[in-house]
């Protein structure tokens, strides 16, 4: 069975493409930006390629593996998937990683100069993994962008103990992950909403 046929029959591939089209409809993946992935096996995942994200299909997905410590990709370079792979390695229970480029999160990442940002007081926080009430402060880790994705992955590993369900890369975009594809989708929508709220609050308060 060739890769295209295998992907076409893989329910994970179909699910990832469905989620990808939903994210694209939100205008969180302009042009061909962002990468979405879903774990296919213990040491491999399926990753979207550079294509109009409103037209995702299983045949367009690449297989990335890391069983022997080296990244291998079925097509193109595996380097741009290094941060996805780092998250799968750091969180063995992780089943999906979604990387978006929304207007709000990208602008917010440029406005906030600290290496993290606490958010509290929003009912929507209960949509985040591990957050049980609105008064519980959640910390959004922010990384400085780097010329190469493997450099970002190295930064991520250094701050592994601070990570919850998202990391924001300055001027680059938002990464979220979850124990199921549905949870990852919920993390993305929740974090995007919270970031938009904070950006608007800072504008009104004169902090932007």
* Cβ partners under 8 Å of residue 1, min gap 6: 9
Query: Does residue 146 contact residue 79 with C-beta atoms inside 8 Å?
Result: no
Judged by phi (left if over 0) then psi (alpha if -120 to 50, else beta), residue 173 lies in left
Q: What is the pTM of this model?
A: 0.91
Taking the CB of residue 76, how many other CB atoms lie within 10 A of it? 13
Does residue 10 or residue 177 have the better pLDDT? 177
Q: Convert the pLDDT of each residue in 184-203 to its tens digit.
A: 999 999 999 999 999 999 99
Query: Does residue 187 contact residue 178 with C-beta atoms inside 8 Å?
Result: yes
As beta bridge partners, residue 39 has 45
- Residue ranges covered by each domain of the chain: 3-205
> What span, in angstroms and rounded, lies between the C-alpha atoms of 123 and 104?
19
* Cβ partners under 8 Å of residue 34, min gap 6: 23, 28, 48, 53, 98, 99, 100, 101, 173
Identify the pLDDT of residue 79: 79
Query: 3-205 — its CATH code?
Result: 3.40.225.10
Exposure of 158 by Cβ count < 10 A (0-12 exposed, 13-18 middle, 19+ buried)? exposed
Identify the pLDDT of residue 154: 93
Quick check: 151 pLDDT over 70? yes
Q: Convert the pLDDT of each residue in 96-121 to its tens digit.
A: 999 999 999 999 999 999 999 999 99
Exposure of 151 by Cβ count < 10 A (0-12 exposed, 13-18 middle, 19+ buried)? middle
Identify the pLDDT of residue 117: 96
Quick check: 3 pLDDT over 50? no
Identify the pLDDT of residue 12: 81
Quick check: 128 pLDDT over 50? yes
Quick check: 180 pLDDT over 70? yes
Query: Does residue 105 contact residue 190 with C-beta atoms inside 8 Å?
Result: no
Of 137, 138, 169, nearest to 153 by C-alpha is 169
The Cα angle at residue 33 between residues 187 and 194, in degrees rounded to 5:
30
Q: Which of 73-82, 130-139, 150-159, 194-203 has the lowest mean pLDDT?
A: 73-82
Quick check: 5 pLDDT over 80? no
Query: Does residue 73 contact residue 35 with C-beta atoms inside 8 Å?
Result: no
Q: Convert the pLDDT of each residue in 12-71 to its tens digit.
A: 888 898 999 999 999 998 877 878 999 999 999 999 876 666 677 788 888 999 988 788
């Amino acid at each position: 069975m060739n890769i295209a046929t295998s992907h076409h029959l893989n329910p994970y591939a179909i699910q990832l493409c469905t989620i990808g089209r939903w994210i694209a409809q939100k205008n969180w993946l302009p042009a061909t930006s962002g990468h979405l992935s879903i774990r296919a096996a213990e040491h491999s995942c399926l990753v979207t390629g550079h294509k109009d994200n409103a037209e995702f299909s299983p045949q367009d997905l690449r297989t990335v593996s890391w069983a022997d410590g080296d990244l291998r990709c079925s097509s193109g370079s595996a380097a741009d998937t290094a941060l996805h792979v780092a998250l799968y390695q750091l969180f063995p229970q992780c089943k999906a990683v979604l990387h978006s480029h929304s207007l709000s999160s990208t602008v917010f990442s440029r406005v906030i100069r600290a290496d993290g940002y606490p958010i509290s007081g929003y009912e929507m926080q209960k949509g985040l993994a591990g957050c049980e009430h609105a008064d519980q402060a959640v910390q959004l880790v922010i990384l400085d962008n780097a010329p190469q994705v493997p450099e970002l992955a190295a930064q991520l590993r250094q701050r592994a103990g601070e990570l919850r369900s998202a990391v924001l890369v300055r001027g680059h975009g938002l990464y979220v992950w979850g124990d199921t594809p549905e949870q990852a989708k919920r993390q993305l929508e929740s974090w995007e909403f919270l970031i938009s709220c904070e950006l608007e609050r800072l504008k009104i308060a004169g902090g932007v």
